[in-house]
Structure 1
Amino acid sequence: MRILWLNWRDIKHPLAGGAEVYTHEVAKRLAARGHEIILVTSRPKGLPPREEIDGYTVIRRGGKYTVYLEARRLYHQLKKEGWRPDVVIDEINTVPFLTPKYVKEPIVALIHQLCKDCWKYAVHPLAQPLGWWLEQRLHKPYIQAAKRGNLKVITVSPSTAQDLYDLGYPPYAVAIVPNGLDWELYKDCNSQKRDLVTYVGRITPYKRLEDLLKAWKTVEKSYDAELIIAGRADPRYLARLTKLAKRLDLSRVNIKANITQQEKKALLAEAKLLVYTSVREGWGQTILEAAACKTPSVVYNVPGLRDAVKHMETGVIVKPGNIEELAKTIVLVMTEEELGKRLGEMAYLYAQTFSWDFTAKLFLKEINTS
């Protein structure tokens, strides 16, 4: 097939996250099967306008906001040049490409999560209702197209699927294709565990890492361990977290703004516990990667995270915003050696049921029937 894939970022974007990993891992596997893929995305400083990555073509145009207009122009330009897609994948990260308004070919909307309650962390609190209202409005043409049978939706978790049903998407148009796991990277993820708790992921407001720091103040009183927070960081939020850590007088906290894949793997392998306190996630890719290293997770009971963790089997799910419960749970898993080991072993077995090869196979099946 000829596949035109629209996404606001690609795997080489400085702010690429879990959605871009999903896109890259699936796209390169579809390309290896002989499918022709053009990924249209924004162009950050320092990246070329066109590039071949692992068998698929990346065309970069526009910035954070103008990429949506550029994608529409490029769609028409490619068709004028004789390149006609068999399917268009519209990957929606809050702002959609509005493909039902102009694309004539079958459309697949790839939706990892809705922004929904994340709006209060992305904009001024007074603007939050407007943000959620606007997000709902932007989904209307997609819902209408899905009801007419002109559009299929792929999402990554039951929680996001339920959010889409609540928004008005017909269940028959929604398919769940879960994230996978890079076993080439994590197949030998065996390191000696140490008294380390970590968070690895984007360091941005909706991750609510203030809660983790506040809980750590309690943890430090009863258990001598190190906390490392690592990942791509929003500079202003990073400064806020650093200031909070100093105000709380936390003695064993290290915040790393940028790490490599190998550093990430080492952290997940050495840690006894991964902690996630996000407002919501599409899934929880790092939780799966930690599980491949026999590292269990403590997470908030929110969409995405509750899908990635099986309570008291592969980790522990706690009430969002309950700092005391979060702290007690961290101490419990870290100090009860048998519990931590059992959760880690079960997490590892659970991780083995995921692979990017399976994800790509299922994804291809769904877009073939779009």
Structure 2
Amino acid sequence: MRVLFLSWRDTTHPDGGGSEVYVERIAAGLAARGHDVTVLCAAHEGAADVTVRDGFRIERRGGRLTVYLHGLAALLGRAGRRTDVVVDVVNGLPFAAPLVRRRGLVALVHHLHREQWRIIYPGTGGRVGWFVESRVVPWLYRRVPFVTVSEASRRDLASLGVTRTTVVRNGTPPLPAPRLPRSPTPRLCVLSRLVPHKRIEQAIGVVDALRERYPDLVLDLVGDGWWAGDLDAEVERRGLRDAVVRHGRVDEQTKADVLGRAWLMVLPSVREGWGISVMEAAAAGTPTVAYASAGGTGESVVDGVTGVLVHDEAGLVAAVDELLSDPERRTRLGLAARERAATFGWDEAVDAFEKALVAAYSP
């Protein structure tokens, strides 16, 4: 099949994250099976207009908002007419592909963005964004099959009236073996885009709350994003410059090293479709503390088995405190996390996604 993904960014974009990792892993898997795969996404500084990677093609056009117009234009052009299946990646805003295409169409939704709209655009803009996502998308895509990445996201979509949904979970991204042993002193990590709805300030707050009890406690922040300056200011305000290390974007080996050194991953995000960083940490034998209310983390973390799920910020501090002081339990959780992470493969994810595409191509 000729498959076109419409995605507002790719993994090389400064705001690229887990959604883009998923799209590109699936695209590479489909290409390896002989499908002709293209990802159309926004252009950004320093990136070529066209790139071929892992057997699929990336075309970059337009900016943060104009990429949606370029997506529709592509569907109306010759390339769109020759495409068998279009995957419309709805990250809050849709490409609105059903306006110009009736068959061979799949919508991919990682999670809903109710909280993100309120946090990032607290005024009218956020209300309009949530209206589009919660009202316009279900109506416009009412005849389109959906793919999502967790049962939590499937339930959220069902609450909006979207019922034709297939769950295709993330695989665990392969990482090299850490070059360094587990840190001899307490070390936390956060692997995330640096944006407000990830609530990384709360991870910084954990360090602040526990630094008297654990004087050597360090937090590693891996990732980048437009909220980085605000996080730096928060670190300065709390006087934690020596306790928080911000690494920015790193290569895969460095990421593995940081995850392997950490005692715990802390993920205070308000909403996750699945929590791909949870499984990356798990593959390094590092358990995660996250929020039960964040959707997909309730599935990527098995509470009390591969990590701990909490309900509020006080619970986040208490859970980290308990695990830092209990090496036997922490080791037990880490071993179980590593074993479970190994059960989520990308081949299985590509199998399931390919079936969804075939069904859309020949309903």
Q: Same fold (TM over 0.5)?
A: yes
Q: How does 1:259-338 map to 2 (within 5 A)?
A: 259-301=250-292, 302-320=294-312, 322=313, 324-338=314-328
Give RMSD over aligned pairs.
1.7
In the aligned structure 1, how far is the partner of 2:39 from the partner of 2:310?
A: 38
User: Could you tell me which residue of structure 2 aligns to residue 41 of structure 1?
Assistant: 41
2:25 matched to 1:25?
A: yes
Paired-residue identity, %: 32
In the aligned structure 2, how far is the partner of 1:311 from the partner of 1:41?
A: 36
User: Could you tell me which residue of structure 1 aligns to residue 152 of structure 2?
Assistant: 159
- Superposed CA offset, 1:131-154 (max 9, x none): 322322331334422xxxxx2100
In the aligned structure 1, how far is the partner of 2:55 from the partner of 2:237?
A: 49
User: Could you tell me which residue of structure 2 aligns to residue 225 of structure 1?
Assistant: 217
In the aligned structure 1, how far is the partner of 2:194 from the partner of 2:79?
A: 40
Q: Secondary structure at the match of 1:369?
A: helix
User: Could you tell me which residue of structure 2 aligns to residue 365 of structure 1?
Assistant: 355
TM-score by length of 2: 0.93
User: Could you tell me which residue of structure 2 aligns to residue 112 of structure 1?
Assistant: 110
Q: Which amino acid aligns with 1:62?
A: G
How much does 1:317 deviate? 0.4
1:68–1:34 Cα change, 3 Å: same
Q: How many residues align?
A: 355
- Superposed CA offset, 1:222-274 (max 9, x none): 1232111121121xx22222222222222412223332222111111111100
1:79–1:192 Cα change, 3 Å: closer
In the aligned structure 1, how far is the partner of 2:235 from the partner of 2:38?
A: 44
How much does 1:215 deviate? 2.1
In the aligned structure 1, how far is the partner of 2:166 from the partner of 2:229?
A: 40
In the aligned structure 2, how far is the partner of 1:105 from the partner of 1:289?
A: 36
Q: Secondary structure at the match of 1:221?
A: coil
Structure 1: runs of 5+ lacking an equivalent: 146-150
In the aligned structure 2, how far is the partner of 1:217 from the partner of 1:152?
A: 46
Q: Secondary structure at the match of 1:317?
A: strand
User: Could you tell me which residue of structure 2 aligns to residue 6 of structure 1?
Assistant: 6
1:127–1:51 Cα change, 3 Å: closer
**1:299/1:318 contact within 8 Å kept:** yes
In the aligned structure 2, how far is the partner of 1:247 from the partner of 1:62?
A: 38
In the aligned structure 1, how far is the partner of 2:217 from the partner of 2:203?
A: 14
2:63 matched to 1:73?
A: no
How much does 1:163 deviate? 0.7
Q: Which amino acid aligns with 1:129?
A: R
Structure 2: runs of 5+ lacking an equivalent: none
In the aligned structure 1, how far is the partner of 2:231 from the partner of 2:37?
A: 40
Q: Which amino acid aligns with 1:163?
A: D
2:176 matched to 1:169?
A: no
User: Could you tell me which residue of structure 2 aligns to residue 239 of structure 1?
Assistant: 229
User: Could you tell me which residue of structure 2 aligns to residue 102 of structure 1?
Assistant: 100
In the aligned structure 2, how far is the partner of 1:57 from the partner of 1:78?
A: 17
**1:190/1:293 contact within 8 Å kept:** no
Q: How does 1:332-347 map to 2 (within 5 A)?
A: 332-347=322-337
1:56–1:118 Cα change, 3 Å: same
